[in-house]
Structure 1
């Protein structure tokens, strides 16, 4: 889609993340700094900005990684303007994952590393919807780890806590249709959320949020196969609404639930 006028769209902020989408036809914003990470994805055009005494040029698909308290500006690198999504994340939140390690620093302010691009993109998929709290925690963990790995920081081996991870897993199996928060998982597993996130991945091959979502989708598929209305399936399986279920269903299975139902009920 081509735009000719500047516009911005700001998502409803959470306690930890602010998210925004914008298009600028020429000049975007003057030099400024903030005390958060600014983590964006260039969608179209060329996002040019002055950063650490040099001009940077982010192309579509690149991630922009502005370190806290670094002076920067923003403008279109071509006459086509530039379109991007961005989120703001405080160093305090990153430190909850890193546990006192130096803050990751991406010197160029731009990265094409798929780990960073994917981690940032996952929290910018749907700015019109409210982030699930567990989805948000999961995304923060992924971003912190991606930044740490790409910036070259060393990771220390440590023993995983199987008991805590298994307690969380069993709780999610029993509560697949209920609201599950990381606060609740901390209580159930008797450990902190970041240790749980790390250990759960090591033991079960995916994140707590992803595990819960897949179990909900398992239940949804079984209900859809009986002919139940999709709106009722979404409510019964713990999704916010039918569109929320459709998004995850399509992302996981490669086709929307309505199409799945058509295919299954023809047999």
Structure 2
């Protein structure tokens, strides 16, 4: 790899999904194929590649989708190169997740990619959110929610999705899910656990919850934890101890969410509310 090219690769421990963010100038890679589905977004520059006997030019915001076995190459036709982010989805994982997410999904569901390159803002946003949550090691429910959002967009036009009707169970689902979150807010809850507790698939669960409370389940759980964090910090508990008690990965993880919500760090909030020294 030359000095002007770089690759940042990570793998999610729960799903095995690899997340990659990379930048290339000139020649990027020779023709090759993967045994995974590739879903990516071009961030900057022009990403040129050949696949299925056609040449493609992906520019910022465009989404590229490749099936297992699709042979492709890559290079940068402009002097500034290109930057992209991508997820590698295992076909077996995908089949399991589609059946868990959608009750209507046929057995052994897979994606059939008709358009390798597409301009779809909703899919681009969902892809970026899934990448960020996995690559950044977010809470389990946050990662799973982002992946569900990606799968929702990837399957949006499939026939079995378009024939979904209203579900009479939904009025009670949001209430049951909210009670479960309050009772288990300190645990590393997954959407699959929440769906099992409410008796519907993850897709219906998320829709019902957001309609009832204005937030997705993962966002509601984060707010529950942050609310408790404020009380603990105001009582004088150190940020690191608060993060450990509430199930955040570490103090910096708590800090990122806290700043997003309140515009200040946990340490600053503790100092202002408790009048205690930092240590």
TM-score range, shorter chain: 0.7 to 0.9
1:44-73: CA deviations, max 9, x gaps? 332222234333222334433334443322
Match of 2:54? 54
CA offsets, 1:13-62, max 9 Å, x none? 33352212222222222233334331223233322222343332223344
Relative distance call for 1:8 and 1:210 in structure 2 (3 A) is same
Contact 1:67–1:109 under 8 Å retained in 2: no
CA distance in 1, matches of 2:81, 2:201: 44
| TM-score with structure 2 setting the length | 0.78
Q: Which residue does the alignment assign to 2:74? A: 74
Structure 2 CA distance, aligned partners of 1:125 and 1:112?
Answer: 18
> Cα deviations across residues 103-123 of structure 1 (Å, max 9, x unaligned)?
36462514351x212211112
Distance 1:259 1:150 in 2: 48
Structure of greater Rg:
2
User: Is the alpha carbon distance of 1:75 and 1:211 closer, same or farther for their aligned partners in structure 2, counting shifts above 3 Å?
Assistant: same
Q: 1:133 to 1:73 in 2, by over 3 A?
A: same
Aligned to 1:250: 259
Aligned residue for 2:164, secondary structure, equals coil
1:241 Cα offset (Å): 0.8
Cα 1:261–1:187, aligned 2, differ >3 Å: closer, same or farther? same
Q: How far off is 1:250 after superposition?
A: 2.9
Superposed CA RMSD: 3.2
Following TM superposition, by how much is the alpha carbon of 1:179 offset from its aligned partner in structure 2, in angstroms? 2.2
The 3 A distance-change label for structure 1 pair 59 and 253 is farther
Q: How far apart in 1 are the matches of 2:263 and 2:60?
A: 24
User: Structure 1 8/202 Cα, relative in aligned 2: closer, same or farther at 3 Å?
Assistant: same
Unaligned runs of 5+ in 2: none
Give the structure 2 partner of residue 34 of structure 1: 34
- CA contact under 8 A between 2:62 and 2:117: conserved in structure 1? no
Aligned counterparts of 2:226 and 2:261: Cα–Cα separation in 1: 9
Residues 127, 94 of structure 1: alpha-carbon distance in 2 compared, 3 angstrom cutoff: closer
CA–CA distance in structure 2, aligned partners of residues 218 and 110 of structure 1? 41
CA contact (8 A) 1:134 1:209 kept: yes
C-alpha distance in 2 between matches for 1:254 and 1:107: 42
What residue is the counterpart of 2:4 in the other structure?
5
Q: Where does residue 238 of structure 2 map in the other structure?
A: 229
Counterpart of 1:43 in structure 2 is 43
Would the aligned equivalents of 1:5 and 1:24 in 2 still touch at CA under 8 Å? yes
Among 136, 140, 148, the residue aligned to 1:141:
148
* Change in 2 beyond 3 A, CA 1:9/1:70: same
Counterpart CA distance in 1 for 2:45 and 2:193 is 43
CA contact (8 A) 1:20 1:127 kept: no
User: Shift of residue 230 of structure 1?
Assistant: 1.6
User: 3-state DSSP class of the match of 2:194?
Assistant: helix
- 1:103 maps to 111
Is the deviation greater in 123-132 or in 223-232? 123-132
Q: Tell which deviates more after alignment, 207-216 or 65-74.
A: 65-74
Gaps of 5+ in 1: none
Which residue number corresponds to residue 17 of structure 2? 17
The size of the alignment, in residue pairs, is 263
- CA gap of 1:17–1:27, structure 2 versus 1, over 3 A, is same
Partners of 1:106 and 1:226 in 2: how far apart?
A: 57
